[in-house]
Amino acid sequence: MRLDSEFVRRRFPALGGGWILMDNAGGTQVLGTVADRIRDYLLHTNVQLGATYAVSQEAEARVRAGRVAAAALMNAAGPENVVLGPSTTALLRRLAEAVAGTLGENDEIIVTNCDHEVNIGPWVRLAATGPRLKVWKVRAETHELELEDLDRLMTERTRLVCFTHVSNIFGTLNPLRDIVRHVHARGARVCVDGVACAPHRRVDVTGWDVDYYVLSFYKLYGPHQAALYVRPGLEEDLANLNHFFLAGAFPARLEPGSVNYELVAGLPAIVEYFEELAAHAGAGAGAAPGEKLAAAFEAIAAHEATLQRRLLAFLATRPRVRVIGRTSADPAARVPTVSFVREGTDSATIPARLDAHRIGIRYGHFYAYRLIDDLGLAAQNGVVRVSLVHYNTLEEVDALIRGLEEVL
């Protein structure tokens, strides 16, 4: 299927501002239709939910539709399995607090050294007062997580393995299905950070049989909200973090203070966009909603592979430049989040020299602080990162390359 770039770019008003935006792993641009829904909610249905009067009923219906959209974007069985909140940081801290009572001091949690801190920090804090913490590290020579190394860490006391679906430094698609099967076979559960995956691949929490999975909608062309999937049945293990009289309600049990109504009301526009994108890419009109989402992401993956192939090929020609992660543009192996360093060069000096070209990229540790430190890259201010998504074009990549030719 072929992506219709002209159709895509019309849907994002910010792309008309004259800048080439390639810092998308830090936050994508927002669909105009998402902003329209948020504005309409605030101007016409900004009341408390649960009342008998018509405006309240309409507000409740809009928020409910947003919850349904969140579940659809994760392919969860239903909205009752999805906790909404302000960020994945907040949601995973809530999850860690909610599961704390089920873990004893002899139990074990495994985290990686390549995750965003969002899926490390809460478990480090929990381990400080209870279970033992182990670290599954990427191999220094390949920058890959290997099941063999995980197997050596796991014991009969391992209760939870936390890992990232896609590294926001390497861009690597970790073998989620294999890891989940391996962990489940050993009697433990998984907690997966899907933030860096969701803009690029169809999320399928049901098909993957994950236990906990988080993503951020502001990195999925929507508002600053996040979602935590909890596999059906596991909610019974989670302590109530809300008012005592909501102890029996889920997901409300993990939504203290409720949710941001207007932002949740904007979520259906994301689903509608992907369905329209699928139609423009050639999906049949009679396709089921899930099939449309799958078709949209198939077109996205193909387009993004073309973008990263051009960029990676250029970087391979530059002396003293090293890509951090896989150098292949194989869409089965990586997404177009491309990090690199230049030998002897402070990474902080490179993005600033592209500002004059009106090209936005960044440098740093990108909250994968422990990984950057382990790789010995902290002294040069981490990596330079170019993070592309499907609304970027080959023409933009070529403009970036022309700018980088002056710098590298």
The residue count for the chain: 408
Is it the case that residue 299 has pLDDT exceeding 90?
yes
Which residues touch 54 (CB under 8 Å, ≥6 apart)?
Answer: none
Write out the H or E segment, with its range, that includes residue 360.
strand 359-360
What pLDDT was estimated at residue 288? 83
What pLDDT band is residue 14 in, cutting at 50, 70 and 90? very high
The C-alpha atoms of residue 21 and residue 396 are separated, in whole angstroms, by: 9
Place of tokens 């895509």: 8
CB atoms within 10 A of CB 11: 19
The C-alpha atoms of residue 243 and residue 245 are separated, in whole angstroms, by: 6
Q: For the domain that residue 327 is a member of, what is the CATH number?
A: 3.40.640.10
The C-alpha atoms of residue 312 and residue 321 are separated, in whole angstroms, by: 11
Phi, psi of 106 (to 5 degrees): -95, -5
What tokens were used for 294? 């799958």
Write out the H or E segment, with its range, that includes residue 304.
helix 289-315
Q: How many domains is the chain partitioned into structurally?
A: 1
What is Dmax (Cα atoms) for the chain? 68
In the chain, what percentage of residues exceed pLDDT 90? 95
Q: What is the mean pLDDT of residues 62-88?
A: 98
Asked whether the CA dihedral 331, 26, 241, 67 is positive or negative, the reply is: negative
The C-alpha atoms of residue 268 and residue 236 are separated, in whole angstroms, by: 28
Which residues touch 106 (CB under 8 Å, ≥6 apart)?
Answer: 131, 132, 157
What pLDDT was estimated at residue 256? 97
- pTM for the model: 0.97
What pLDDT band is residue 123 in, cutting at 50, 70 and 90? very high
What pLDDT band is residue 281 in, cutting at 50, 70 and 90? confident
Is it the case that residue 264 has pLDDT exceeding 80?
yes
Angle between helix 394-407 and 289-315 (nearest 10): 30
The C-alpha atoms of residue 406 and residue 12 are separated, in whole angstroms, by: 30
Q: What is the mean pLDDT of residues 305-334?
A: 97
Q: What is the mean pLDDT of residues 388-395?
A: 98
What tokens were used for 128? 């400080």
The C-alpha atoms of residue 209 and residue 9 are separated, in whole angstroms, by: 34
The C-alpha atoms of residue 347 and residue 99 are separated, in whole angstroms, by: 39
The C-alpha atoms of residue 355 and residue 288 are separated, in whole angstroms, by: 44
What pLDDT was estimated at residue 287? 78
Is it the case that residue 285 has pLDDT exceeding 90?
no
Residue-wise pLDDT for 32-68, tens only, equals 999 999 999 999 999 999 999 999 999 999 999 999 9
What tokens were used for 79? 């909205």
What pLDDT was estimated at residue 191? 98
Is it the case that residue 133 has pLDDT exceeding 90?
yes
What tokens were used for 259? 């949710």
Amino acid occupying residue 172:
T
Tell me how far the alpha carbon of residue 265 is from its chain's centroid.
20
Asked whether the CA dihedral 393, 399, 400, 401 is positive or negative, the reply is: positive
What pLDDT band is residue 257 in, cutting at 50, 70 and 90? very high
Cis amide leading into 122 (omega within 30): no
Amino acid occupying residue 97:
E
Q: Which domain holds residue 391?
A: 1-408
Residue 239: Cβ-neighbour burial (10 angstroms; 0-12, 13-18, 19+): middle
Is it the case that residue 148 has pLDDT exceeding 90?
yes
Q: What is the mean pLDDT of the chain?
A: 96
Closest to 136 measured CA to CA, from 151, 158, 155, 122: 151
b/e 24-58 (16+ beta carbons within 10 angstroms → b): bbbebbbbebbbebbeebeeebeeeeeeeeeeeee
What pLDDT band is residue 283 in, cutting at 50, 70 and 90? confident
What pLDDT was estimated at residue 296? 95
What tokens were used for 144? 């890959």
Strand ranges inside 217-347, DSSP E: 226-230, 321-323, 337-342
